Structure 1
Amino acid sequence: MLHSRGPLLTIDVGAETTDETDIESVHREYIGGRGVATRLAHERIPFDVGPFAPDNRLFFTTGPMQASRMSFTGRMNCTGVSPLTDGLLSSNAGGFMSRNFAATGYGAVEIAGASDELVVVHVRDDGVRFESVPDLEDATVPETVAYLEDERGITADQTAVIGPAGEREVRFASIMTSEERAFGRGGLGAVLGSKNVKAITFDGDSAPDIEIPATQNEIHSEAATDDNIMKRQGTVAVMDLANEIEGLPSYYFSERQFEGVEGINGAAVEEKKYKKGTCSACAFACKLPTKDDERGVETEGPEFEVAMAFGSNSGVDDIVDVMKSNELCDRYGLDAISAGNTVAAYLAAEDEFGNDDLIHELVERIAFRDGVGDTLAEGIDRAHEELGVDNWTVKGMDFAAHEGRVLHGQGLSYAVANRGADHMYSVFYSVEYPLVPDEQALDPTGTVGKADRLVQRENLMALNDSGVVCKFSRDYMNPDRYESLFSADFEELLAVGDRVVTLERHFNNQRGFDASDDDLPYEIPDFERALEEYYDARGWEDGVVPDDAVPAGVSV
């Protein structure tokens, strides 16, 4: 089976020491990316660790497909205990850092401990250097990137950076790479902030020699020549469809259609797009560099989730206002989905929907934990009672845009996903809109009978995150191509994904998670029956992994 190579580099930022460990056996079992990071985290992070404790660790990993020049491979993974969900969580970012990371020659980089001073950690194939950077305290992401380039000759594509939000341990702070790409969803930027690490940089000339089958060329060619609406509008292309089927969260989830949708939909974004945007080696080029010269706004995006959170869910019908919110989140290092939804909760509490000036002020106040921003920085789950609004979260994570009250299988996915109400854990919405061929589609109504398909989808997404292969490759990947690229039977590859999901669940079980956490703040048909079908399909008991279901070689 194709897999990543290279040792684990452990960096203790408090002691300023490093250590290397052979993890070849882990690579063979878990391929790379999220799989390898989850296996290492399960072994090396204490089950009872606090998210901001020095013993919490972050694992940066990428996959064997970074040795290719294939489209859909410019991504990498970060894993740790989340300050937002309090469970083990992996976050995935695009951009251009993955191949710079691979060039260090390390198969995984582990950040442990906590520094007494603000530092940048420079990881090279010939060693690690710690740089004290007290002058970068409170620096924005662009300011930090500019410092690294001007003073150290390090480009944005070599960096993982936090902004003021990460330094202040905002529970949904992101780690930013390539300046505008985010390890979002779950607050791992706050974990890096708790360790007093402002940035990590990667460079070298020691990428492992991994032979990738010629199938990569077919996929790359198709991605380059295909006429796909995502190349023009990104994920926001689905917004009109979502609104049409009454599946667009609006006004802090109180409504499911938005009368101002034409002001924030795919066509509105496309109008502001001024050049192509892509990730490393990818000819699909679905990113959205946008700007409005009249108002001086320039950003990358918004994608659908952000256009929902800062748009329809906040009562905003002007794409430039949403672009400004997106720009501010990237500047301060905030997950734009959680930031937007949390702001929407405040707007609901204060009856201020549509107040774009207030929205932009709140983003900055959250990043600096200023006044009410300190409350909102805790996220909806911890702040909703003080705000007097409903708790629109699962396991502490607020909802993505794909509406589980309409797409019932997606609703079930939100409930059971180990990282909470995140759409990318199974991407089940794609078979229910549908965004796939008819023979792969499911009726969005109902939950019974969907558990086996949901398990398969979760396992496949875990495989993609281990490969690492972008999930927007769905029109170009099939079982035969997976088998060709990874030199293994498709069912064997799905079994890797199953081990990853099981290890995440087992880790969280040791932290007290069980079936009571697999819940929704709304009703969908036959939910309890579907939940039992899901547990049966996984071989779990009341949401808990029994000892005999833990993957071989893992301590229980």
Structure 2
Amino acid sequence: MLHSEGPLLTIDLDGKTTTETDIGPIQERYIGGRGLGTKLAHDRIPFDADPLGPENRLFFTTGPMQASQMSFTGRMNCTGVSPLTGGLLSSNAGGFMSRHFADTGYGALEVAGAAEELTIVHVTDEGVEFEAVPELEEATVPETTAYIESEHGLESDHTAVIGPAGENGVRFASIMTTEERAFGRGGLGAVLGSKNVKAMTFEGDSAAEIEIPATQAEIHREAATDDHIMKRQGTVAVMDLANEVDGLPSYYFSEQSFEGVEGINGAAVEEKKYKKGTCSACAFACKLPTKDGEAGVETEGPEFEVAMAFGSNSGIDDIVEVMKSNELCDNYGLDAISAGNTVAAYLASEDEFGNAELTHELVEKIAYREGVGDTLAEGIDRAHDELGVENWSVKGMDFAAHEGRVLHGQGLSYAVANRGADHMYATFYSVEYPLVPEEDAVDPEGATGKADVLVERENLMALADSGVVCKFSRDYMSPERYEALFGADFQELLDVGARTVTLERHFNNERGFDAEDDDLPYDVPGLEDGIREYYDARGWKEGVVPETALPEDVASAA
């Protein structure tokens, strides 16, 4: 089976020391990326670790496909205990950093302990350097990347950076790379901030030599020549469809359609797009560099989720105002989905929907934990009582845009996902709109009878995250192509995803998560039965992984 190569580099910030560990057997079993990061985190982070304490660790991992020049492979993974959910969480970022990381020659990087002062960690194939940077305290992401380029000659695509939000422990702070790409959901930026790490840089010329089968060329050619709407409008292309099926969260989830949708939809974003945007080696080029000269805003996006959170969910119908919010989140190092939804909660509490100026002020206050921003920085799950609004979250994570009250399988997915209410965990919405061929579509009505499909999709997404292959390759990555690229039977590959999901659940069980956490704040027909069917399909008991269902490499050590 194709897998990542190279040792684990552990960086101990307490003593400014490093060690290398052979992880070949784990890579063979978990491929790389999320699977590898999950296994390492499961084995090396204490189950009772405080997410913002020194005992929590971050694992940066890449996959074998980063040795290719195939489209959809400019991504990498970061895993740790989430300050937002309290559970084990992996976040996936695009851009250009993955190949610079691979050039260091390491298969995985572990960040442990905490530095005494604000530090940049420089990782190369010749060693690791620690640079104290107290002068960068609360610097924005662009200010930090400008410093790194000026002092070290490294452009932003070599960097993983936090902004003020990460330093200030905002529970949905992101780690930014290439300035505008994010390890976003779940707050891993706050974990890096708790370790007093302002940034990490990666460079070298020692990438592992991994032979990628010729199938990569077919996929790359199709990605380059296909006339796909996402090349023009990114994910926001789906907004009109969501609105038409009464599935666009609006006014802090109190409504499901938005009368101002034309001001923030795919066409509105396309009008502001001024060039192509992509990730490393990708010809699909679905990113959205946008700008408005009159407003003086230039950003990348917004994508659908952000256009929902800062747009319809906040009652704002002007794409330029949403672009401003998106830019602020990138600059301060905030997950724009959670930031937008949390701002929407505040707007609901104050009857201020549509107030774009207040929205921008709140983003800044959250990043610096100033005034009400200190409350909002805790996220909806912790702040909703004080705000007097409903708790629109699952396991502490607020909802993505794809509406589980209309797409009931997606609702089931939100309920049981180890990560909480995140749409990318299974991308079940894609088969319910549907955005897939008719033969693969699923009736959106009801949550029962969908468990087997959900399990397979969760496993497939975990496999893609382990590869690492972008989720938007769905029209190009068939089971046969997975087999050709990774040199294994498709079911064997899905088993890697199953082990990954199971380890996430087991880690969370050890932290107290069980069936009570698999729930929704709204009704979905057949949800309880659908959850039971899901547990049966996974071999779990009341949301808990029994020892008999653990992977062999865990059960044998139990």
TM-score, with structure 1 as normaliser: 1.00
Q: How do 1:124-523 and structure 2 match up within 5 A?
A: 124-523=124-523
Could you tell me how far 1:303 is from its partner in structure 2? 0.1
Partner residue in 2 for 1:544: 544
Q: Which runs of 5+ in 1 are unaligned?
A: none
How much has 1:286 moved relative to structure 2?
0.0
Corresponding position of 1:54: 54
Whole-Å Cα distance in 2 between the matches of residues 216 and 70 of structure 1?
5
1:105 aligns with 2:105: yes
What's 2:10 paired with? 10
Alpha-carbon separation, structure 2, partners of 1:295 and 1:67:
41
Give the distance between the partners of 2:511 and 2:477, measured in 1 at CA: 36
Cα distance in 1 for residues equivalent to 2:526 and 2:94: 37
How far has the Cα of 1:233 moved from its partner?
0.1
2-structure distance, mates of 1:502, 1:64: 22
**TM-fit CA distance, 1:114:** 0.4
Q: How far apart are residue 14 of structure 1 and its match?
A: 1.7
- Residue 92 in 1 paired to residue 92 in 2? yes
Shift of 1:548: 1.1
Question: Which residue type is aligned with residue 164 of structure 1?
Answer: P
Aligned residues: percent identity? 80
Q: Runs of at least 4 residues of structure 1 off by over 6 A?
A: none
Describe the superposition over 1:140-180 as per-residue Cα deviations: whole angstroms up to 9, x where unpaired: 00000000001111110000000000000000000000010
- In structure 2, how many angstroms separate the alpha carbons of the residues matched to 1:15 and 1:520? 44
Deviation at 1:375, TM superposition (A): 0.1
Deviations 1:184-239 (A, max 9, x none): 00000000000000000000000000000000000000000000000000000000
Matched residue SS, 2:353: coil
Deviations 1:261-319, CA, capped at 9 Å, x for gaps: 00000000000000000000000000000000011010000000000000000000000
What corresponds to 2:528 in structure 1? 528
State the SS of the aligned residue for 2:85.
Answer: coil
CA distance in 2, matches of 1:513, 1:203: 39
Unaligned runs of 5+ in 2: none
- Counterpart secondary structure, 2:512: coil
How much has 1:553 moved relative to structure 2? 1.4
In structure 1, the residue corresponding to 2:552 is in which secondary structure?
A: coil
Deviation by residue 1:364-397 (Cα, 9 ceiling, x = unmatched): 0000000000000000000000000000000000
**How many residues are treated as equivalent by the alignment?**
556
- Aligned to 1:352, the other structure's residue is in SS state coil
SS at match of 2:553: coil
Amino acid at match of 1:214: A
2: CA distance, partners of 1:53 / 1:70 = 39
Counterpart residue identity of residue 383, structure 1: A
Pairwise CA RMSD: 0.4
Look up the SS of the partner of 1:205 in the other structure.
Answer: coil
Whole-angstrom CA distance in 2 between matches of 1:418 and 1:94:
22
Give the whole-Å Cα distance in 1 for the aligned partners of 2:148 and 2:205. 20
CA distance in 2, matches of 1:527, 1:364: 38
Letter of the 1:131 counterpart: E
Structure 2 residue identity aligned to 1:199:
A
